[in-house]
Amino acid sequence: MTTNLASPPTTGIQLSGLTKTFRTPDGPVQAVRGVDFSIAPGETVALLGPNGAGKTTTIDMMLGLLPPDSGTVSVFGMTPEDAIKAGAVGGMLQTGGVIQYLTVRELITMVASLYPKPLGVDEVIALTGVGDLANRKTNKLSGGQTQRLRFAIALVSNPDLLVLDEPTVALDVEARREFWTTMRAFVSRGKTVVFATHYLEEADAYADRIILMANGRIVADGPATEIKAAVGTRTIRATLPQADLAAIAALPGVTNVDTRGAAVVINCSDSDAALRALLAAFPQAHDIEVTGAGLEEAFLQLTADADPEITKEIEAR
């Protein structure tokens, strides 16, 4: 089958003043509190945040699955409902199964028939690597295989916007790598991608931009390099056997000191001042490296007040 390629849209996605409160037996819970952001056509954006940050609720409102209490969503100049009817949006959410007792090919073919300009079924099967599963019944798939099928279903409509909520959560390392190889091929066609993930290295490696949420609000928005730089911390590593940790900790600009064998690891609020003082006090220090904050460190610092349990979980990894 030939590929149906439509001209990419010139208007992107706009979320303005979104709020959402849920009523619970323990009282109201404000899941989203005034979220504003726009996404340009062809951009790949990662939505990050601890559990309860409002990521999934924001995605559900972007897809028209939940009505906002206030605010608006525009998808390529349309309401989410109209964009979905036009086949402009594909989604792969955390929850939801697949129709049972069909083969993988039969299900992809059925879904393709619902859209005005779908991709070819054979193309989608090849693109998502489910060729070895094409004749297998959906009720005979493992969790990771089902996840690959759900990805194929999301792609077959040939959407201009692909929204993914924890897309690689059930995949092993090799399958995750293959997934992102497929995503790069899809994005190269001018497609727009929004994905939420707990794998911070995926956001760092594959997103043009990261939107970081905590407590229902956006706490950072920009390229990964900018978010890491905003934390303002640096780490100095140096070989310094039998180092006097108390003396190093007292140096200007130093916030914490640890050892790794013969090396010292120094966390700094001012790496320039700390490095000058370190060399003056310990001229025997050598093999010195200075690195900026990683995305995980930035995540933990910027969402420190969001959810202590998820913070502990990430720190333990």
Contact, 107 vs 139, CB < 8 A?
A: no
Ordered per-residue pLDDT tens for the chain, 317 residues: 334 445 667 789 999 999 999 999 999 999 999 999 999 999 999 999 998 899 999 999 999 999 999 999 999 999 999 999 899 999 998 777 899 999 999 999 999 999 989 999 999 999 999 999 999 999 999 988 998 999 999 999 999 999 999 999 878 889 899 899 999 988 999 999 999 988 899 999 999 999 999 999 999 999 998 898 777 788 999 999 989 999 999 999 999 999 999 999 999 989 999 999 999 999 999 999 998 878 888 898 888 854 444 333 333 33
Q: Under CATH, which number does the domain 233-292 receive?
A: 3.30.70
Domains 13-228 and 233-292 share a fold: no
Q: Where are the domains of the chain?
A: 13-228, 233-292
Residue 59 burial (CB count, 10 A): 21
Residue 86, both tokens: 């036009």
306: Cα separation from own chain's centroid? 17
Which residues, 6+ apart, have CB-to-CB distance to 243 below 8 Å? 259, 264, 282
Q: CA-CA-CA-CA torsion for 62, 66, 71, 72, nearest 10 degrees?
A: 40
pLDDT at 96: 75
Residue 37, φ and ψ in degrees, nearest 5: -165, 160
Residue 255, both tokens: 């916030």
Which stretch of DSSP H or E encloses residue 66? none
Neighbour-count burial for 117-138, b at 16+ CB within 10 Å, e otherwise: ebbbbebbbebbbbeebeeeeb
pTM of this structure: 0.78
Q: CA-CA-CA-CA torsion for 114, 118, 121, 123, nearest 10 degrees?
A: -160
Instruction: Tell me the CATH class for 13-228.
Output: alpha beta
Nearest to 59 by CA among 88, 86, 22, 20: 20
| Burial tier of 188 (Cβ tally within 10 Å: 0-12, 13-18, 19+) | exposed
pLDDT at 8: 66
